[in-house]
Amino acid sequence: MAKINRALLSVYNKEGIVPFARGLRAQGVELLSTGGTYSLLTQEGVAVREVSSYTGFPEILEGRVKTLHPVIYGGILAKREKAQHQQEMAKLGVAPIDLVVVNLYPFQQTVAKPSVTLSEALENIDIGGPTLLRAAAKNYKDVIVIVDSEDYPAILNEIAQGEITESKRLTLAKKAFYHTACYDKAIFSYLSGISEPSQEKFPKSLTTTYTRVQSLRYGENPHQEAAFYRGEEESGGWGDAKILWGKEMSYNNFLDADSALALVSEFETSAAVVVKHNNPCGVATAETCIVAFKNARATDPTSAFGGVVAVNRPITEELAEEITSTFMEVVVAPDVAPAALAIFQKKKNLRVITVSSPTKPSFDFRKIAGGLLVQDPNRHVLNDATQYRVVTHRAPTPEEVEALLFSWKVCKHVKSNAIILAHSGVTVGIGAGQMSRVDSVQIAMMKAQSPVTGTVMASDAFFPFRDGIDMAGKAGIRAIIQPGGSIRDAEVIDAANEHGMAMVFTNTRHFRH
């Protein structure tokens, strides 16, 4: 490996840069720098030369132009083994720059400020930094490029040993291109969000940037490999989750926990959700989460075994005792009391995770062969009786209204075809994922652990025939909430009237495929 004689250091994140610079100087490396990095190194007594002094050309346009100079880029881009390049450099007095250390101002932080203006955002777009990184990464066989402060110690040691392989240089170059790609993506996303009269809701092109957080033990099945990636522009949710106890999450754990978190976040009152195989098997609200959990588990205690539970309040010692009385794979909560965590730690196969409410992304994505499906997230919320239409002779009672609104929230998170039987604040039976809607009705009744008489029923889509209504009426179900819109709505309404049931139409479907 050729000796590192000269390095250019210009970083926004200055963590570790001073000891790294000192280490380079100890090995006789000449240092060039600009702006805040130059000031910091000078203050810390590290010998460093300002780029403007090195190029003989001052910074101009209020610092907009600092490093954009042939002396800098010639030194970075010149191929060391190419005679013509070396002759040109000697003729023009251009010296090689062997190491470039740059990281960029986090543009996301600038545009995240509520009061930021377009003018301010544009002023914070770095030009020289990405150009330095791309030049160094392009010429990685001759130039080392570093964007990550965590690489400083290892690279410093390898420089001293003269052992930086071409493979390692390529790895560093990839990180540099990834760094600039994320930066450009952030700029594009911000500018895409600025409304224009002719702008379409869905952009003509999409760019997504995700960073691998961890490899998972396997995917849905042991023969499938898997990993978890965090979105660069997403905050909250699983990217910021903390595992307080237990082994790392599996692929299926993440899917089930995400479903549980999404559903429990629908409720403002204390709530608990138990999920199994990506479907809720019990949901309840109550004055306390311990009562909510007991009621949710009671919906289907057999399915709850080995499931995922999510609550929307901090977990107390009492709640932890109740949860651990049933085998659970994962517990999700906004916080866990120390005494509660001590109880959980007695269960070696349990995972305990704290996570904030999920973020609300602009779009939902679903990968299919050869492309990507994109849609609005399902943000439909039914808050009161003014948002639905009573279509039967009998209107629902106030108690039935509460139960209908509750079951409608649950229905949104159950795989289609979805049927929910419920009282106010607690599910009684759930029928999910059936090809026939009447089968879902039958399964919901079959799964019920308590009498369904007096319950209400929610359906994620319209009833194509009256058979589901007849089955519900004979079982004593008193009220139904559904979207409506079938060509046989009149028959369905007649069936409800014959059974003395109340039925309301929401005009909104809740398919979840």
Q: Which residues are catalytic?
A: 138, 277
CB atoms within 10 A of CB 221: 9
Cis peptide bond upstream of 417, omega within 30: yes
Looking at 347-436, list the stretches that DSSP marks H as alpha helix, in order from N- to C-terminal side.
398-411
Beta strands in 236-327 (DSSP E): 242-245, 270-276, 279-286, 307-311
Q: How far apart are CA 65 and CA 402, in angstroms?
A: 64
CB atoms within 10 A of CB 217: 13
Q: Strands 389-390 and 426-431, how do they pair?
A: unpaired
What angle (nearest 5°) sits at the alpha carbon of residue 143, between those of residues 142 and 148? 145
Q: How far apart are CA 145 and CA 133, in angstroms?
A: 7
State whether residue 305 is helix, strand or coil. coil
Beta strands in 166-269 (DSSP E): 210-216, 226-231, 242-245
Q: How far apart are CA 354 and CA 330, in angstroms?
A: 11
For helices 70-77 and 128-138, angle between their N-to-C axes, nearest 10 degrees: 30
Token pair 């990464």 is found at 137
Cβ–Cβ under 8 Å, residues 275 and 260: yes
Cβ–Cβ under 8 Å, residues 382 and 388: yes
Q: How far apart are CA 463 and CA 439, in angstroms?
A: 12
User: Which residue in 265, 273, 281, 272 sits closest to 433, CA to CA?
Assistant: 281
Per the structure block, which two tokens stand in for 288? 């306390």
